[in-house]
Structure 1
Amino acid sequence: MTDRHAPPRGATPSTPALDRAGFVVPGRSGPPGGGGPGLTRRQMLAGSLAALGGVAAIGALSGCSTASATTGVRELAFWHLLSGGDGINMAGLVEDVNALDHGYHATQTVLAWGAPYYTKLAMASVGGRSPDTAIMHASRIAGYAPGGLLDAWDLDLLAEFDVTEDDFLPRVWEKGGLDGTQYSIALDSHPFVMFYNTDVAEQAGVLGTDGQLAPIEDPEQLLEVARAMQAVTGKHGLSYGYLGDGAQMWRLFYTLYKQHDAPFDLSGERAEVDDDAAIASLTYIQQLLDGTVCAVDGDYGTAVAEFMSGESGLFFTGVWELPTAKNAGIAFDAMPIPTLFGTPAAYADSHAFTLPHQSDPDPEQRRATYQFVSDLLHHSLDWAVAGHIPAFQPVVQSPEYQALVPQAHYAPAAEILNYDPEAWFTGSGSDFQNYFLETVQNVYLQGADPAAGWDAFIRRVNVQLSKPNPV
């Protein structure tokens, strides 16, 4: 166990690309919102939001929603942080369920990904101006629910709209709860997976008889497969971008760390971790970043471009890059990252529906909100088309989903998910992954001592554990 740490200096969070109004620039590809371009009805919808200056929906920032006096339709305020391809697809989904005429009309408010979004959501809950429902990353629930910023879901009422716990994988459902109370309902899971170029794999002789990548069962075998692919591409075997990107660094590290079946418990005053597993994982990442298997200093955009242009055979990324790969026109497939260290595991998060706190919610408004969320879950096949794995299992088990390739090939990753360790300062868009960037990047980039980098990171984590949750 690691417990030898001195306080570090504070971290500076990364800043997303914003327009002048402070909202995410739409149409961007890359983590975490991923998705390639391609003018569609959904893109036009997203463009319409942007054309109104990020205030397309910002008229709904007050979160005040009422029933129309003439139609009886409930006007719902729906906040989310989905940009790029994800934002395009969500705009289309909302349009589709609004057209069902189920007694509501939902209006979207799209806010800047990361800290700006979560700050505004907290302020809205405290100030009595919260929306009817909002998307949060499931990994952020532990920081918000204890402070009274979220209302609990009424599971009996949810069941009236044909949504129950049995419709979700246990890991995904449990992540939405805290101390026996359900604070979020997952829309999806978006794990870290491995894409591969099937043409390169075939030339490298690493395809199985089923046309998919032959099983990879240990660390050395992955290196061998990557080197065989590098011999075909002449550049790299694996694309993995991390430079200046704590989220990308953490996604790969945590996948490998949890494959050691190692604990990461932040429930006490000090982190309970497995130093040996962490150092072994970091050491293996250094082996990957040798300039042949993978670029030593690649950033995310470079890795995307390299794989999409056929200059590598493997790609470590999130499922959100599926539209980008399809638009690139390459022959590819995808799968969970191979189990290299004994325990199947993949880093992931989920977009999840929450009920930002309202002091005196209108019961009929709440019923309309439950209907809206249920409709989105039942119609989430389009969300799967864009890459994410639907959390609602009736969709995943449908013939339509099972016919989707490569989605059906990487869907098993949802059964081996590992969310961020629970603490008020962890989760997507938090400073936690920036701490990892600041303390460990030189381990990746310059071959620095893995033990020293890991100890520095855990010291930073322990400093945060000594502080109270500010919300």
Structure 2
Amino acid sequence: MRTTTPDGRLPRRTLLGASAAAAAGLLTACSGGTKIGADQGGTDAAPTFSGGEYKGPKVTLEYWNGFTGGDGPHMQAMLRSFNQRYSGRIEVRNTTRQWADFYPAMPTAIAAGKGPDVAVIHNDQIATFAARRTLIPLDDVVGALGLSESDFIPAVWQAGVYDGKRYSVPLDVHCLADYWNARHLSKAGLKEAPKDRSGFEDALGELKGAGVAHPFWMPNKWPAHLMFMTLLWQFGGELYDEEGTRALWGGDAGEQALNWMVEQIRKGHSPAQVAQDAQYNAFKNNKVSFTWDGIWQINDLKETAKSVDWHLSSVPVIGGKAAVWTAGHNFVLTTQAGRDKHKVQAAKFFIDYMSARSTEWAKAGMIPARNTVRAAPEVAKLPQIRLAEDVEVFRFLPALPGVGDVQTKALELAVQQAVLGQKSPADALAEGVRTADKVLADNKQKYAK
């Protein structure tokens, strides 16, 4: 089982199962005698941040994250630097745990006063935790510091807003990329990866003719759904309506996207029924010419695929416009910190410090969210940074509470069924949309304001 999913996460099927558990945990933590909110020193009790260094009495901040993989040492280096510099006023105590355990544990721990004051969470979790009043808005932080969308990659900035309030300060973005084998491409007379549909498909045909049996393996699980969403957006589709009541990915754009994925098997570019992680392992063993995967694989390839002359580029534009699935890590402030006015101020200072000084974090293979950090000379030369030359292509999941449940129970299953040949793309999508609409309706009740 691969252990190099985003930031050392467990395989996505495990993580998304945990998302459902996290949602249940949030509901439990927000009912009966364990309700989290302003009545426990939450949003209404949080003092305003005025900027500048923290000058209050010494405090200890509990900090949670899920960086258990190769990115972990880089986060630890950032924490050591902060603690050494501010040891007389702020001590940040780190807890790192698998993402699959992190999300279910966080709300209950916060309710008991044993959770994080500050945490890093993925953008698709922000709305869920905010809807259950587990987070404190950070509008005053960005206001005091004069931060705006123009200081960040726009899509990741917008992803931190829920119900008109900002609940996060972005740390990074990580997106899908096209990894390619230069030795293979040379057999097709190519010096770099094709950028459009015709060039990509022609290259696959040339590679098969040159002796590469299956140049582009099509997974049915991770990251198949990321590929589908990328193609959906490229063909002009959207995931959900603005109200979060209907799934839109079953329309014409969705069919075009999923049909293209299935066609790669029909044309012989990919074997059928590719097992979990098989396409990535095949790439690392010089058997695959192209593979689409996340930029979190950069450091793993550097360490474990030294015999492969690999490179990475933006995902080719198969549809009518450039777009790519993207996610991001975000600093958030919890209602646990909100019970102590000094912790609130110290935590807000810590969040700004870590976001502004994320040069070290870029070495973990991520794309820093702040424009100033990406422009730093030691960051600008990193391979993943060229993927951010056009930041308008980055597309995120919408800020819908419980969106992870919809993805797991409906979208991912539809993609898997079609790629495995169990159903036609049209039938798989139609059934998936029916399930998605039901889950969306349930979520409207579950996360009612």
TM over 0.5: yes
* 3-state SS, counterpart of residue 6 of structure 2: coil
Structure 1 position 307, deviation (Å): 0.8
Match for 1:144: what amino acid? F
Note if 1:138 corresponds to 2:115.
Answer: no
* 3-state SS, counterpart of residue 67 of structure 2: coil
Q: Which of 395, 401, 408 is the matching residue for 1:433?
A: 408
What is the root-mean-square deviation in Å for CA atoms of aligned residues? 2.6
Q: Which residue of 1 aligns with 2:323?
A: 345
Q: Which residue of 1 aligns with 2:280?
A: 304
Q: Which residue of 2 aligns with 1:381?
A: 359
Structure 1 position 380, deviation (Å): 1.7
Contact conserved, 2:409 with 2:435, CA < 8 A, in 1? no
Structure 1 position 376, deviation (Å): 2.0
Task: Return the TM-score normalized by structure 1.
Answer: 0.77
Distance of 1:171 and 1:441 partners within structure 2: 28
Structure 1 position 128, deviation (Å): 4.2
Q: Which residue of 2 aligns with 1:355?
A: 333
Q: Deviations over 1:287-318 (max 9, x none)?
A: 12347322322234222221112111111100
Q: Deviations over 1:75-116 (max 9, x none)?
A: 2111112222133332233223323336322222123323x3
* 3-state SS, counterpart of residue 176 of structure 2: strand
Q: Deviations over 1:387-413 (max 9, x none)?
A: 211111111122222222x22332236
Contact conserved, 2:333 with 2:347, CA < 8 A, in 1? no
Distance of 1:456 and 1:387 partners within structure 2: 37
Q: Which residue of 1 aligns with 2:292?
A: 316
Contact conserved, 2:179 with 2:311, CA < 8 A, in 1? yes
Q: Which residue of 2 aligns with 1:24?
A: none
Note if 1:276 corresponds to 2:244.
Answer: no
Q: Which residue of 1 aligns with 2:190?
A: 206
Q: Which residue of 2 aligns with 1:10?
A: none
Match for 2:309: what amino acid? A
Note if 1:31 corresponds to 2:8.
Answer: no
For residues 206-225 of structure 1, the aligned pairs below 5 Å read: 206-207=190-191, 212-213=192-193, 215-218=194-197, 220-225=198-203
Q: Deviations over 1:410-445 (max 9, x none)?
A: 223643122124432214xx4623433333322101
Contact conserved, 2:154 with 2:391, CA < 8 A, in 1? no
Q: Which of 395, 402, 411 is the matching residue for 1:418?
A: 395
| Deviation larger for 162-171 or 441-450 | 162-171
* 3-state SS, counterpart of residue 339 of structure 2: coil
* 3-state SS, counterpart of residue 263 of structure 1: coil
Note if 1:192 corresponds to 2:142.
Answer: no
* 3-state SS, counterpart of residue 33 of structure 1: helix
Distance of 2:266 and 2:91 partners within structure 1: 53
Q: Which has the higher helix share?
A: 2
Match for 1:390: what amino acid? P
Match for 2:3: what amino acid? S
| Deviation larger for 261-270 or 196-205 | 261-270
- CA gap of 1:108–1:458, structure 2 versus 1, over 3 A, is same
Q: Deviations over 1:61-82 (max 9, x none)?
A: xxxxxxxxxx964321111122
Structure 1 position 457, deviation (Å): 0.6
Note if 1:401 corresponds to 2:385.
Answer: no
Q: Which residue of 2 aligns with 1:180?
A: 164
Q: Which of 247, 256, 269 is the matching residue for 2:231?
A: 256
Structure 1 position 324, deviation (Å): 1.4
- CA gap of 1:274–1:437, structure 2 versus 1, over 3 A, is closer
Q: Which residue of 2 aligns with 1:112?
A: 98
Note if 1:333 corresponds to 2:307.
Answer: no
Structure 1 position 326, deviation (Å): 1.0
Distance of 1:163 and 1:325 partners within structure 2: 35
- CA gap of 1:239–1:371, structure 2 versus 1, over 3 A, is farther
- CA gap of 1:313–1:360, structure 2 versus 1, over 3 A, is closer
Contact conserved, 1:184 with 1:353, CA < 8 A, in 2? yes
Match for 2:195: what amino acid? I
Distance of 2:330 and 2:156 partners within structure 1: 10
Distance of 2:130 and 2:284 partners within structure 1: 40
Task: Return the TM-score normalized by structure 2.
Answer: 0.80
Structure 1 position 345, deviation (Å): 0.6
Gaps of 5+ in 2: 10-55
Q: Deviations over 1:261-303 (max 9, x none)?
A: 2122242543345611111111100012347322322234222
* 3-state SS, counterpart of residue 124 of structure 1: helix
Gaps of 5+ in 1: 1-16, 18-27, 36-70
Match for 2:273: what amino acid? D
Distance of 1:360 and 1:257 partners within structure 2: 40
- CA gap of 1:227–1:104, structure 2 versus 1, over 3 A, is farther
- CA gap of 1:441–1:272, structure 2 versus 1, over 3 A, is closer
Match for 1:280: what amino acid? Q
